[in-house]
Structure 1
Amino acid sequence: MRTENCLIELGTEELPPKALKSLGEAFAQQFEAALTAAELSFTSVSWFAAPRRLAVYVSALAESQADKTVEKRGPAVSAAFDTDGNPTKAAQGWARGNGISVEDAERLVTDKGEWLLHKAHVPGKQIGELLASLLNQAIAKLPIPKAMRWGNYTTQFIRPVHTLTALYGSEVVNLTALGLASGRTIQGHRFHGEARFELDHADNYASALEAHYVVADFTARKDKVRQQLQTAADALSLKPDFNEDLLEEIASLVEWPVVMQASFEEGFLAVPKEALIYTMKDDQKYVPLLDSEGQLSNTFLFVSNIESQDPIQVISGNEKVIRPRLADAEFFFNSDKKTSLESRLASLESVLFQKQLGTLKEKSERISSLSGFIASQIDANEALAARAGLLAKTDLMTNMVMEFPDVQGVMGKYYALNDGEDAAVAEALYEQYMPRFAGDALPSPGVSAAVALADKLDTLVGIFGIGQLPKGDKDPFALRRAAIGVLRIITELSLPLDLEVLVAKAGEVYGDKLSNQDFQAQVVDFVLARFVAVLQDQGIAIDVIQAVSARRPTQPSDYVARVNAVAEFKQLEEAQALAAANKRVANILAKQGVDSSVNASIDESLLSEDAEKALYSALMSAESVVTSAVTTQDYTKILSTMATLRSAIDSFFDDVMVMAEDDAVKQNRLALLSLLRQLFLTTADISLLAKS
């Protein structure tokens, strides 16, 4: 069967830059899914996306579906013929529907009976018959939050569509989509080359566009921007400050990237660099440059969409654009410094944190109280933590943060230092929101960690306390992120904190504002549940996590110590046998109604079998080691000690009848197993490691 490479392009107005990559990926995914569902053979589907185009390129697409034979079962033979052997109406109707006579039908014989059968040959459809439907299916499933109409068209898309190109090799595939008939016309660059040109072959798409000043491949265009930025920065012995998000947004704004260099007055560098960087990157999509010490340069880079014959004019225009934004930042900074953060506390009374939980002023007071308490638990300065907590939200009322919201916390640090606050207080104001996202840096140990924890816990306890638990993907107060932040701070900074104690204290600080009586257990369980994702990301097996979770340790650092110990124990040769034994012990105790959490006395005089005496002796030795190791949370030592019991446990189950006829002996042996279970449970429920 003939195959050719196929290209379909939608030529549009400028597409939303933040959505361009996801649109391109989705277009390819949905079109590939439609091709697969239609049983059209192809090798691969790739995508192109630029500001004014979305395209898919299908390699080795078959010209038609493969022919196939479809078996169509008719009525049972017993119902297909009357007593005289003549076809019944049911048989005749079925045959007519299949375009055959009853006599032409084959027979299908099974162990359940015999039926009429027709094997229909179904020729495959040509792509000319299929592509329109497949394309429209793919377009309908694109992630478009808000579609628009244009001109006199009744169709809708994320932006107006002006051209529709559909080529199968060098041939135009005639189809209609979004109110347009297909052709071979392609939009060139808006300012360079031809405005429109004819594409001769699907394989020449990328090269033809490049000849018309369009880099259609999104990844290639992004890499070109990255390379040009790095080359320009290296020439200045500076470092370009950009991340992948900014790089992708820039690549989504230009079709023919040309990196250029501009500058602003050095006087603006007196403004905190974070505010200047924010306005350059977020507002203008410029790339700031930093020196070897991380200080901002007054030279910056920007990416133009044209190769200008008069680049000085382009540079001058961009410098004129950025200057007023920097001047605003300078004015706000100088103006804000005239008013101390402390004097802004009263203004927080006008801002509602949450209707049932009060204002930001009340939240600040709660954070202050909770920060001081946490500081006392981790040997940090209580007074400084309480002070930082009180001032934590005051920079939200400054002109700078109102204009540039992303610099909240950052500006708090600068204004606190300007006010003469302690350096630890200033740093805590900056670090209170850390970690803000996965992989973000943590706050410094001490005062900063106390404030960051207090802020997150206050939100968690407050929202749970009024019964507004997150449901599904709805989490308006970012409680999941707060919970993961709490876990990361406590575990990665090795803080000796207990979630139950922290949550209880946060609830106490709220006073009578909380209506949900179950908030404490709910918050602790919610935070602990985040451990599953956090630990799995670190490569910890799910059964190890479940074994520890079954014990519900509420000190996160202790939780991690247990997980690490169980993960190490699981690698031992004895692990599976001991896990199976634990499962067996748990089942025996459960059937007999024995609560292993209750200490049961063992009467040594009732131990008659050598195997049970040996197990008792081994347990007594292990118990002294476990009791000592628990105080230092040395769970690795506990489990390695318990691993030495394998032979004694095996012998016990091989040689001893637990359900002895003598009830006293039976209860004594159950007490022995209960002690065994207790010693393992000091770390985790090892029975959950057993293979099913």
Structure 2
Amino acid sequence: MNGKTLLVEIGTEELPPKLLCSSAQLFCDNITTELNKFYLMYKKVVWFASPRRLAVQVIDLQTHQIDRTIQKRGPALKNAFDNKGQITEQTQKWINKNKLILSQVETLYTTKGKWLIFNKKIKSKKIQLLLPLMIEQAIKQISLSKSMRWGNGIIRFIRPIHTVTVLFGKELISCIILGIKSKRIIYGHRFMGESKITLIDADEYLQVILTRGKVIADYNKRKEIIKTGIESLAHKIGGKADITDELLDEVTSLVEWPVILHATFKKEFLNIPHKLLIHIMKKTQRYFPIYDDQGMLLSKFIFVSNIESSDSNQIIIGNEKVLNSRLVDAKFFFDYDRKKRLSNNLKYLNKVIFHKKLGSLRDKTKRITYLSKWIAIQIGANIKYSIRASLLSKCDLITSTVFEFTEMQGIMGMYYARYNGENEEIAFALSQQYKPCFSGDKIPSSLVGCVLSISDKMDTLVGIFGIKQFPKGSKDPLALRRAAFGILRIILERKLPLNLKLLAEKSVHIYKNVLTNKNTVNDILDFMFDRLQQLYLKNGYSLCVFKSVLSIRPLCPIDFDLRIKALSYFLTLQESNELIMSNKRVVHFLTKSNKISVYGDINLSLLKHKEEIELANHISKLTTELKPYIAQGLYKEALIELAKLKEAIDNFFNKVKININDTSVHINRLTLLSKLRFLFIQVADISLLK
């Protein structure tokens, strides 16, 4: 290809670091979509991002669209002309709509018939005419929840846009995008290099903004420089850095010219709970904690500055002062909170509203305690510990530390419980109660933690559904979807013997007369099954397999899981396709018949043909043999046995007529089919498989 490079840069005020990478990727995807939509040829599209810019380069973009022909189909030939050979009204409307003359119309011949068609040639347009619309559309399609307006305009974006640069090779594409006129001007680093740079060539973008503007615009390159620099510096100072993807991405999104530095804090602060200390460093300050070879936290940290300084010590001292001040506050809060027992905060929970229609946090604590006891009995967890953990679960929300550092809820409860001499299993469960907190987060690792997490989440689900405040669209302020996913993941991954209906009913009962929705349990189950469907589809299972199991509505997730896996295995069997089709035929006959209400036992004396006698014997035998398989959840083994029916079923359908005039025989054969269907339906409705 012999095209040119297209550069599009959107210069903005500082973009939110947690949204920078996703916004840049979305911008790139949208540009790619627009290029394909307009039939433009190119080699590849790459994206760049820094705190004050989103940019894409389209490599080897052709100067014109591809010439193409589109085919438009009109009426079928048999409807196009009347008996006299004149065009019909339908044909005339089609001709008028497409502004045709009859000589342009051709006939399309296919195996399914003949149609009138016309082939329209689309002449290519220059890239310069298409780019403004494409770019503006690509920017508008960056759907962000936190968009804003600025000045007197009506344009919305995540941050005010100041500059737009569109270069096609060395040519400036003159246009106005989102109210901003395109120019060759790009801006460098705020404090280093050239502030304002005139860009001559789109191919020179990365090099010019690097050497003259002191900006590393390539996000991934900047990220790798930061990661490698931190690892190297940590090794140099005798430790290993705590580098998480989340923190690394956020720091990469905060700087344009990363400078890696290390500093220290006072050793006395190592007496603060380490999770609190690390939270302050990582979440509040965006620092990287350092550990020694034994995994012990050191009083050292690494941070990334956005500027080169002739006196880096001043930057280090400044960051040390900030962190030490934060740690002084944290130590004060922690020491203050330790002066009273965690359980003393129970009485203060009455003053904190959980929901105006559902009572206080003290009310929620009481409900969780009752529900936890029931769950602990069901799954074999320590009942005493589960009740105690539930009673203490919300007490740390009253503490000064959690008030200041809200993300430490649960975790601080664990530390305070330990200082109060509570059993370690109880204390640890407090730190696990909110897990999983996000997609991909770990589930509680202790059984008491599972009890507490499930009871807390189910209480919230039942309460909110019970007052008919269902999540709608993207609005889910109490994270009910996350709660449902959490419950399902815990049950499935820990293989807990919990029945969703009984769990919801128990929670509803504990609420007593507070709830107004009489259909709460069914609403909860529908909501949970929707989430369960998403889990299985995400894990690669087909929708028809899920629906086949859902049709019989197993209420225990682990039982549901066994059926899903058994059915997926069944589809690998050679006999599966024929058995699926046979089940579809069975359903067809049973659905079509209006005599279902008279089905009972098979009348052996009415069996006339060898094939139906043979099938009846197989059904009778399997009805007994499958009982222990179904009772033990051995659905895979049950389906393997059912697969052996293939030949008997085929013979029956090939030799035996179902719909006959003899009503008794007809009903008896339908009864035979109903018994056959029952054998399969004990595992799943395989007639729904494709």
Q: Flag the 1:381–1:141 CA change in 2: closer, same or farther, 3 A.
A: closer
- Tell me whether 413-422 or 48-57 shows the greater mean CA deviation: 48-57
Q: Does the alignment pair 1:678 with 2:666?
A: no
Over 3 Å counting, the alpha-carbon distance change for 1:39 and 1:239 in structure 2 is same
Shift of 1:47: 2.1
In the TM superposition, 1:444-593 aligns within 5 A as 444-593=445-594
Alpha-carbon contact 1:600-1:674 (below 8 Å) kept: no
Distance 1:153 1:427, change over 3 A: closer
Residue 585 of structure 1 contacts residue 673 of structure 1 at CA under 8 Å; is this kept in 2?
A: yes
Residue 258 (structure 2) aligns with: 257
- Cα deviations by residue, 1:68-125 (Å, 9 ceiling, x for unpaired): 89999xxxxxxxxxxxxxxxxxxxxxxxxx9xxxxxx99546689xxxx999997834
SS where residue 675 of structure 1 aligns?
helix
Q: Alpha carbons of 1:522 and 1:32: their partners in 2 closer, same or farther (altered >3 Å)?
A: same
CA-to-aligned-CA distance 1:10-34 (integer Å, 9 cap, x gap): 3344333223223323333344444
- SS of the aligned residue for 1:339 comes to coil
1:171 and 1:619 mapped to 2: Cα distance? 79
- Which letter does structure 2 place at the counterpart of 1:605? S
- Unpaired runs of 5+ residues, structure 1, are 73-97, 99-104
Aligned to 1:329: 330
Change (3 A) 1:139 1:536: closer
Provide the C-alpha distance between the structure 1 equivalents of 2:182 and 2:283, rounded to a whole number of angstroms. 38
- 2:276 aligned residue: 275
Say yes or no: does 1:386 pair with 2:384. no
Distance 2:577 2:647 in 1: 13
2:427 corresponds to which residue? 426
Q: How many residues align?
A: 655
Residues 141 and 634 of structure 1: CA distance in aligned 2, closer, same or farther (over 3 Å): closer
Distance between the aligned counterparts of 1:403 and 1:339, measured in 2? 18
3-state secondary structure, aligned to 2:275:
helix
Residues 1:17 and 2:17 aligned together: yes
CA distance in 2, matches of 1:686, 1:528: 19
Q: Which residue of 2 aligns with 1:616?
A: 616
- 34-43 or 191-200, which moves further after superposition? 34-43
Instruction: Assess if the C-alpha contact under 8 Å between 2:69 and 2:119 holds in 1.
Output: no
Q: Distance in 2 between matches of 1:451 and 1:223?
A: 41
Q: Secondary structure at the match of 1:47?
A: strand
The residue number in structure 2 matching 1:220 is 221
Aligned to 1:288: 289
1:159-308 to 2 correspondences below 5 Å: 159=159, 161=161, 163-177=163-177, 181-212=181-212, 213-236=214-237, 238-292=239-293, 294-308=295-309
- Structure-2 change in CA distance of 1:687 and 1:118 (3 Å): closer
- CA–CA distance in 1 between the matches of 2:544 and 2:107? 46
Q: Answer yes or no: is 1:650 the counterpart of 2:650.
A: yes
Give the 3 Å change call, closer, same or farther, for CA 69–646 of structure 1 in structure 2: closer
Q: Give the whole-Å Cα distance in 1 for the aligned partners of 2:211 and 2:133.
A: 32
CA distance in 2, matches of 1:269, 1:503: 44
1:89 equivalent in structure 2: none
Q: Does the residue aligned with 1:564 lie in a helix, a strand or coil? A: helix
Deviations 1:543-585 (A, max 9, x none): 2111110100001111111111111111111111111111111
Aligned residue for 2:210, secondary structure, equals: helix
Q: CA deviation at 1:685?
A: 0.6
Q: Aligned letter for 1:491?
A: L
Q: Say which SS state the counterpart of residue 299 (structure 1) adopts.
A: strand
Partner of 1:92: none
Provide closer, same or farther for how the CA distance between residues 314 and 638 of structure 1 changes in structure 2, counting only shifts above 3 A. Answer: same
Q: What is the deviation of 1:528?
A: 2.0
Matched residues in 2 for 1:122 and 1:406: separation?
59
Aligned to 1:88: none
Q: Mapping of 1:341-352 within 5 angstroms?
A: 341-352=342-353
1:462 counterpart letter in structure 2: G
Stretch moving more, 663-672 or 630-639? 663-672
Contact 1:2 1:63 in 2 (8 A): no
Assess, with a 3 A threshold, how the Cα gap between structure 1 residues 616 and 326 changes in structure 2: closer, same or farther.
same
Post-superposition shift, 1:216?
0.6
For the aligned residue pairs, the C-alpha RMSD in angstroms reads 3.1
Tell me if the contact between 2:341 and 2:420 (Cα under 8 Å) persists in the aligned partners: yes
Work out the CA distance in 2 between the residues paired with 1:71 and 1:644.
52
Change (3 A) 1:348 1:201: same
Name the CA distance, whole Å, in 2 between partners of 1:551 and 1:140. 45
- Scaled by the length of structure 1, what TM-score is found? 0.88
Q: Summarize the Cα distance change of 1:247–1:586 in structure 2 as closer, same or farther, 3 Å threshold.
A: same
Q: Could you give the per-residue CA deviations for residues 316-348 of structure 1, whole angstroms, max 9, x where no partner exists?
A: 111111111111111111111112121101111
Flag structure 2 segments of 5+ consecutive residues without an equivalent.
73-98, 109-117
For 1:75, the equivalent position in structure 2 comes to none
Residues 64 and 124 in structure 2, CA contact (< 8 A), matched pair in contact too: no
Classify 1:601/1:37 alpha carbon distance in 2 versus 1 (closer, same or farther; 3 Å): closer
1:34-55 deviation digits (Å, cap 9, x = unpaired): 4555555443332221122222
The one-letter amino acid paired with 2:276 is A
Shift, 1:148, TM fit: 4.7
Aligned equivalent of 1:436: 437
Displacement of 1:303: 0.5
SS in 2 for 1:262: strand
The match for 2:88 is none
Compared CA separation, residues 402 and 669, structure 1 to 2 (3 A): same
Q: Partners of 1:157 and 1:460 in 2: how far apart?
A: 34
Structure 1 residues 513 and 225: CA distance shift in structure 2, 3 A: same
What is the CA–CA distance in structure 2 between the aligned matches of 1:121 and 1:480, rounded to whole Å?
Answer: 48
Deviations 1:242-288 (A, max 9, x none): 33222222111111112111111111111111211111112211112
Distance 1:369 1:49 in 2: 52
- Does residue 403 of structure 1 match 2:401? no
Distance in 2 between residues matched to 1:162 and 1:495, nearest whole Å: 56
Matched with 1:4 is: 4
Shift of 1:427: 1.3
Deviations 1:471-516 (A, max 9, x none): 2222222111111111111111111111111111111110110111
My pick for the range that moved more, 457-466 or 132-141, is 132-141
Structure 1 residues 320 and 8, CA gap change in structure 2 (3 angstroms): same
- Judged with a 3 Å threshold, the aligned counterparts in structure 2 of structure 1 residues 292 and 435 are, in CA distance, closer, same or farther, namely farther
Distance 1:130 1:544 in 2: 46
User: Take 1:185 and 1:12, find their aligned partners in 2: how far apart are those partners?
Assistant: 13
In 2, distance between residues paired with 1:454 and 1:524?
A: 16
TM-aligned CA deviation for residue 199 of structure 1: 2.8
Identity of aligned residues (%): 42
Q: Which has the larger radius of gyration?
A: 1
For residues 49 and 382 of structure 2, the distance between their equivalents in structure 1, rounded to whole angstroms, comes to: 54
Instruction: Report deviation, 1:517.
Output: 0.8
Q: 1:302 is paired with a residue of what secondary structure? A: strand
Pair 1:600 & 2:633 matched: no
The whole-number CA distance in structure 2 between the counterparts of 1:120 and 1:584 is 50
Aligned-residue offset at 1:381: 1.7
**Helix, strand or coil: the match of 1:228?**
helix
Are 2:635 and 1:635 equivalent residues in the alignment?
A: yes
Letter in 1 for 2:204: N
Structure 1 pair 521–215 and aligned structure 2 pair: CA distance change class (3 A): same
Quick one: which amino acid aligns to residue 6 of structure 1?
Answer: L
